[in-house]
Amino acid sequence: MGVSGVGAALEISHLTKSYGANRALDDVSLIVRPGTVHGLVGGNGSGKSTMIKILAGVLKPDGGSVTVFGRELLTPGGSIGPAEVRAAQLRFVHQQNSVFPALSVAENLALGASFEQGRFGAIHWRAQRRHASAVLERFRIRVRPGDLVDTISPANQALIAIARALQDVDPDEQPGVLLLDEPTASLPRSEVQVLLEALRELAQQGQSIVFVSHRLDEILSVTDTLTVLRDGRIVHDGATRDLDHDGLVTLIAGRDPRADMSPRQRPPSTADVPRLTLRGLSGGGLRGANFTVMPGEIVGIGGLLGSGRSSLLRVLFGVTPRSGGSVAIDGRLIEPRHPRQAMDLGLAYVPEDRASESVFLDLSVMENLSVASLGSLWGGLHLKTRVESKAAQQAIIDYGIKCRGPRNAMFALSGGNQQKAILARWLRRRPTLLLLDEPTHGVDVGARAEIYGLIREAAAEGTAVLVVSSDAEELEELCDRVLAIRNGFVTDEVAVSASTGEVIEGMV
């Protein structure tokens, strides 16, 4: 694909990178225009992360060139160093660890540049706060320099990270390019619009932005131009207005991933007793939940961050202590005080934070699959490793986990395949009740459709499913009913139909 450097904020030409026989980037060329928001999307393994790592100076490409506002940053056969990246005014805000919650706003901003110093090298705190006030005013962030970051809204935390990256960039003198990698991934839906409007305003002021996200509705609403990567190649590069949601999904996956997934058709339950019955359940942020779930039913849970939606799942699984109310499974009262007890009662739980609460990155795929079923694999003093390996190989096939084999390291898998392995870990136990918190967080559209299929198959076999999600589209596509939790109480309920989209949007 030929490109011209005229008027380019960032120009990438013929960029390539291979790992053995695998081409992570295959002759990639694109242009980001000044004062625009340029979307970069693609499935896991499409090449997005490789491109960003090359631009950040973390990886050396096999070939290609990069210029920033006409300044040559990378020549064919060369590499980029951190000093060159900074001098070229390339700035990055990554999804993880963008801010330091225990520090003040002023301290967070100083970590992106340097602390103001007084006599004898001591920090001049008054000057530091003045500098922070000027940065906050410039980026129109309505917080105070002395505020602790963990006390401000998630959207403002993201804006602090952006301001920290751009505070030393003068758009009138030496404009740069801001690369945002999944900046909304950890934001509740109510906060996302605040950040997107701030990005539009930055672009109107002349800032060039590369926006990476799996959330396609955000990509379509905030970007001016869009590049789609698949298997290391560009499959679309043009104006965002030329695409709609379904067209973008097909470009990313190479096909419509929903074509092979039968529509959700839950047969009416013949059970006389609900699979799950809650009466006044409280604990953590949950103050009173009353509802039932029938066998084979998928019930969505919407609500703002801190509403009690995640506490519901944690209380049911025995992670958070119950402070009141009752829980019954198939009409029998239960009170699990520990996850082990919940597992013995037929419950399974996939938390929101995959990295810290679900996956064991240093272990193999086989070990990750087996960790919830060790009792059945234990033979005297030793694990039945042959049985474990055979069962893991079958799970890899049954649940569509893309990896080299059972002993493949878990960290080498994409986010979507890690999530499928975690689901497989629990679904192999044939749970009575499956608890899912943001089950498709950070996975691409293809893996999302596969995960929906696995959840639907479990429900078709009689498993009751509770799905907590901040994605209204996910709740509408996956669930039979959606409940809203506000201030710890279940306040609304809607049966999902073709006309409930806007109603569900208001519930999350």
Give the CA-trace dihedral at 280, 281, 287, 292, to 10 degrees. Answer: -70
d(CA 325, CA 335): 10
Predicted local confidence at residue 2, as pLDDT: 36
Predicted local confidence at residue 3, as pLDDT: 41
d(CA 386, CA 363): 17
DSSP string, 32-89: E-TT-EEEEEE-TTSSHHHHHHHHTTSS--SEEEEEETTEEEE-TT----HHHHHHTT
Closest C-alpha among 207, 249, 238 to residue 9: 207
Predicted local confidence at residue 68, as pLDDT: 92
Tell me how far CA of residue 457 lies from CA of 34, 431, 463, in angstroms. Answer: 48, 12, 9
CA angle 347, 350, 353 (to 5 degrees): 150
Question: What CATH number belongs to 276-505?
Answer: 3.40.50.300
d(CA 376, CA 371): 11
For CA atoms 225, 227, 228, 234, give the dihedral sign.
positive
Second CATH level (architecture) for the domain 10-253: 3-Layer(aba) Sandwich (3.40)
Q: Which two three-digit tokens encode residue 85?
A: 């990246």
508 DSSP assignment: -
* Bridging pattern class, strands 347-350 and 433-437: parallel
Q: What is the CB neighbour count within 10 angstroms for residue 250?
A: 18
Residue owning tokens 């070990």: 367
Predicted local confidence at residue 272, as pLDDT: 81
Half-sphere exposure of 295 (CA within 13 A, CB side): 15
Predicted local confidence at residue 266, as pLDDT: 59
- Amino acid letter at 337? R
Predicted local confidence at residue 112, as pLDDT: 63
- Amino acid letter at 111? L
Closest C-alpha among 62, 136, 63, 78 to residue 104: 136
308 DSSP assignment: S
Predicted local confidence at residue 11, as pLDDT: 95
What are the residue boundaries of the structural domains of the chain, listed by start?
Answer: 10-253, 276-505
DSSP string, 319-378: SS---EEEEEETTEEE--SSHHHHHHTTEEEE-S-HHHHT--TTSBHHHHHHTT-HHHHE
pLDDT along the chain (508 residues), means of 10: 60 92 91 95 87 90 92 84 86 79 90 66 78 90 92 88 85 80 77 88 91 90 95 94 91 74 58 92 93 95 85 95 95 94 96 87 92 77 82 92 91 89 95 95 84 94 94 89 92 76 63
d(CA 108, CA 34): 28
First and final C-alpha spacing in the chain: 41
Predicted local confidence at residue 255, as pLDDT: 76
429 DSSP assignment: T
